[in-house]
Structure 1
């Protein structure tokens, strides 16, 4: 029996991108999808776009929330599927057969993950994320940075806890680590699974986001090891930019 995937889209005043995200979900060849949209009471025409597809959306609410992670928690509470995937407004499931291919890799995993392609505001490809996904993933894999995108990880609802609202910018990192600590079987699908629109709250509040990430990593990996790991992250980042500068010259 095929598992049901609950795809959750969080949106607030993003009339420009919401339809592209909705279409990427509704065009999937995989039949067992529950589609949930949580709108934060948009006023820019977003709700009118959603209304065009309402008969194909499993659950939809539009109301004020306390931020993106509060909205995500609403989505988790509403989800009835075997797995949860967050595909927020502006992002896309990679191709029409992606969900089908993900579940075909191996039955019954606790977590499936894959690679992400980045896109700019004009929806032009920027290529793969700088952090390549690890060959094998555990809860310790984030110690050198977040190497799996939030949009590229399918989590069993049995191990998906609510987001910790103590964090305003990086609660997704904490959420994935907690899920990975519970997971017994984690599968690398060895494929691109998501298209990610560069930006979002963690980019807009970059300094605050970095502070939160450091706190989260210290909580799980220890303060001193985290300091050492961040030194390695800084070195790898510098090396990445030097290599890319040479390539572009």
Structure 2
């Protein structure tokens, strides 16, 4: 009888031939240190790519559980599909271009998941398109990583990188496919639903700078305001956005551009 995987890793792709190999190589290397690979499930949810994305994915069939390729309504629609298909107890989104931090992550992480927390999180290493490291997110943005994460910590925006956040599937909501900051709300709701949250002693991922929210920055800011207004109220959201812009201005003036 097949047992339930403890962790489902989900990679979303669309015309991702440039970066997908980097992601899959990192997963393959990390799996080499795992004694029981049945504990893991790996899904690729593709938006009907027109380039070589699927050909690259097919080269890694040895550890890919399932590839779904069909038209979708954007990133968060694809993430909803992946979440619905996941059979693991925990879900972890690692999108094309992002990487598992090193070959020891999975062998260290899986025993830690046995502690049965609802959410696990870590810092993330920022990397450029050429793979070179920029530095830890907690040092290269104003978002300092707390030891005891709460949903209220998101009052000033995305406290934890999405790729460094692992949640139980049964506490995770669906993403709002019309909001470019839906990942912030997803984490907030996961934390609201969580009884136990654990700060991991390891780095989970390398995060590729860029992404849809950066490419559509103005709309992303408006959508973030909608999320924060919903969870913190109108006046606190207005006040906190003033703090966000002021903090970002001074951080960038002191440290240079960080995004």
State yes or no: 1:81 paired with 2:88. Answer: yes
* Matched-pair contact (CA < 8 Å) for 1:41–1:62: yes
| Count of equivalent residues | 244
- Whether the 8 Å CA contact 1:115–1:132 is kept in 2: the answer is no
- Choose the corresponding residue for 2:130, options 94, 111, 122: 122
Paired residue secondary structure (2:12): strand
Distance 1:229 1:103 in 2: 37
- 1:142 aligned to 2:154? yes
Partner of 2:25: 23
For residue 120 of structure 2, the aligned residue among 112, 116, 124 is 112
Q: Is the 8 A contact 1:91 1:196 kept in 2?
A: yes
User: What is the rounded CA distance, in whole Å, between the counterparts of 2:25 and 2:93 in structure 1?
Assistant: 15
Q: 2: CA distance between counterparts of 1:5 and 1:155?
A: 10
Structure 1 residue aligned with 2:221: 210
**TM-score (ref. length: structure 2):** 0.89
Output the CA distance in 1 between the equivalents of 2:26 and 2:73: 27
Whether the 8 Å contact between 1:40 and 1:65 is mirrored in structure 2 is: yes
Once structures 1 and 2 are overlaid, which stretch shifts more, 216-225 or 185-194?
Answer: 185-194
Partner of 1:191: 202
For the aligned residue pairs, the C-alpha RMSD in angstroms reads 1.7
Pairwise CA distance, 1:25: 1.6
Query: Aligned equivalents of 2:5 and 2:62: distance in 1?
Result: 22
Work out whether residues 157 and 184 of structure 2, in 8 Å CA contact, stay in contact via their aligned partners in 1: no
Q: Which runs of 5+ in 2 are unaligned?
A: none
Query: 3-state DSSP class of the match of 1:135?
Result: coil
Match of 1:157 among 166, 169, 176: 169
- 1:69 equivalent in structure 2: 76
Give distance in 2, aligned partners of 1:103 and 1:58: 18
Q: Is the 8 A contact 2:77 2:177 kept in 1?
A: yes
Contact 1:144 1:232 in 2 (8 A): yes
1:147 deviation in Å? 1.5
Greater Cα shift, 64-73 or 231-240: 231-240
What CA distance in whole angstroms lies between the structure 2 residues aligned with 1:104 and 1:54?
Answer: 25
Q: CA deviation at 1:55?
A: 3.3
The residue aligned with 1:50 is: 57
Gaps of 5+ in 1: none
The answer on 1:200 being equivalent to 2:208 is no
How far apart, CA to CA, are the structure 2 residues paired with 1:62 and 1:125?
Answer: 31
| Separation in structure 2 between the aligned mates of residue 81 and residue 100 of structure 1, nearest angstrom | 17
Q: CA deviation at 1:2?
A: 9.9
Write the deviation string for residues 102-135 of structure 1: whole angstroms up to 9, x where unpaired: 3444611000000011111222111112123222
Give the whole-Å Cα distance in 2 for the aligned partners of 1:156 and 1:69: 18
